[in-house]
Structure 1
Amino acid sequence: MVKNLLMLGTCAGLLSGCYQANTSQTPTPTAYSTSEQQKMQAAHHWDVLAAHEARLITTTLQKHNVPLHVSGGDADTPFYNGYKNLLTSQLVTNGAIVRSTGSGSAQVSFDVNVIEHKDRDSRRKPAGSWTLLATGVVVAAHAVEHWSTPAKLLFPAAIGADIYSGNWIKDTDFEVIITTTVIDKNQIIHSSSNIYYINGGDAQHYAPQENSTSKIRVTDRG
């Protein structure tokens, strides 16, 4: 009797699990496969992007034999001003004909979108992070037991730091989308978008700050 009740309970539990698994009112959330995205943290990275875009544009120009004029963007920010000059230099280096005026030239421009995420889930640690940490703990424990000189305990920690510290990237809620476009006679002959992480404090390099005004209350009281 008890055996039959246990079997009945087990079957009921399995059926309820199947019911829950196949009757969701909304799609079940799932994660993307692990991917990587680079982080811009220096003007050198702007030059790397400019070199990449210059190579793409000069490849496109093999089909469209037109001179270029880099008009840049319409914002007065460090990135807009710096990237315009860097892209101009890289285009010239790659053999493109770049004019100082827009007359009779294809227009090279770029657009920047800064995104601030307000509600992001925590990101899972890279595969092997805990294993590496555990290995370091084991090595340190072994040193405590077998090494007579306390100063030698610094060596395992230093080795682990040297190996792993180069991969430390601080999490950020800010991203930037940079789109470089070439237009010739109302025809888009090149368009390329790149997405990067940026530090929150660097957002003003890419997007102009909103003008802020202070409200002052004026009364006639003495």
Structure 2
Amino acid sequence: MLRKLCLLGVGSTLLAGCFTTNTSQAPIATTYPISEQQKMQAAHHWDVLAQHQAEMLVNKLGNKPLYIKPSDETTPFNTAFDTLLTSQLVTAGATVKTTSSMAATISYKVQVVEHKDREGIRAPMGTYTALAAGIAVATVPFNNWTEPALALLPAAGAADLFSGNITSETSEEVVITTQVIEGTQVTYSNSSIYYINPGDNDHYKVKAEKKAKPVNVTSEW
């Protein structure tokens, strides 16, 4: 019996030597480090983006005259961003012209990204710890106070305090790229990515026109 076990062990060792360890038939899935991404869900957020771009443009281009090229597509975002960026540039001290003559041209592109099969996203760090702590705190008045409903007060207070920090990821995002072109050279390019609510995607892209159904014409009565 002992001999058989020894032979089996030696055979297994020799067999293992024929293969390389830590191998895979395809790349294994891994994750990225935790990062944050803002959610755009108000016209005020468009103004915040315009202010940010205006400050960066002034820092990059100085007093160079600028011309904002209107977007080829008419959407609520494009219409608003034209005026918001103009206002923020003027406020920042930039020279904004109404024609492209003798001016650097500012243009922007908007792309809506729709994820069809996104896996779950990890909750923010500390979520489950805070939840467990909230439950534990709520049990204190429940166990010691005469009115059980008072157990809701700690949780309600925490909700009032931190409710502004609560948001959720969505399956749709928008990529907004602002560029400056002088002649044939791109002298400035900056992209921002935001989550958006699926119901707001028509703020950023033109709705596809519905094709009319073909009508069959026949001479039969």
Write the distance in 1 (CA, Å) between the matches of 2:116 and 2:208: 19
Cα deviation, residue 89, structure 1: 0.6
CA distance in 1, matches of 2:205, 2:21: 45
TM-fit CA distance, 1:157: 2.0
Quote the Cα distance in structure 2 between the aligned partners of 1:49 and 1:126: 25
Q: CA deviation at 1:73?
A: 1.5
1:48 is the counterpart of 2:17:
no
- After superposition, the CA RMSD in angstroms is 2.6
Aligned to 2:206: 208
After TM superposition, give the deviation of residue 203 of structure 1 in Å: 0.8
What is the 5 A alignment of 1:1-222?
A: 22-62=22-62, 65-215=63-213, 217-218=215-216
Contact 2:65 2:97 in 1 (8 A): yes
How far apart are the structure 2 equivalents of 1:78 and 1:217? Answer: 35
How far apart, CA to CA, are the structure 1 residues paired with 2:169 and 2:187?
A: 36
Q: Residues 92 and 217 of structure 1: is their aligned pair in 2 closer, same or farther, counting only changes over 3 Å?
A: same
Residue 141 of structure 1: CA displacement?
1.8
Moved over 3 A (4+): 216-222
Structure 2 CA distance for partners of 1:21 and 1:31, relative to 1, 3 Å: farther
Deviations 1:67-107 (A, max 9, x none): 11111311100001100110011111111111111222111
Cα distance in 1 for partners of 2:143, 2:122 equals 33
Shift of 1:66: 2.7
**Gap runs ≥5 in structure 1:** none
Separation in structure 1 between the aligned mates of residue 116 and residue 188 of structure 2, nearest angstrom = 33
Instruction: Give the CA deviation at 1:186.
Output: 1.9
Percent of paired sites with the same residue: 48
TM-score for both structures, normalised by structure 1: 0.85
Distance between the aligned counterparts of 1:151 and 1:142, measured in 2?
A: 12
Letter in 1 for 2:25: Q
Q: What is the TM-score normalised by the length of structure 2? A: 0.86
SS at match of 1:54: helix
Judged with a 3 Å threshold, the aligned counterparts in structure 2 of structure 1 residues 142 and 21 are, in CA distance, closer, same or farther, namely: farther
CA distance in 2, matches of 1:91, 1:188: 19
- Give the distance between the partners of 2:130 and 2:154, measured in 1 at CA: 12
| Number of aligned positions between the proteins | 212
| Secondary structure in 2 matching 1:103 | coil
User: Which amino acid counterpart does residue 58 of structure 1 have in structure 2?
Assistant: V
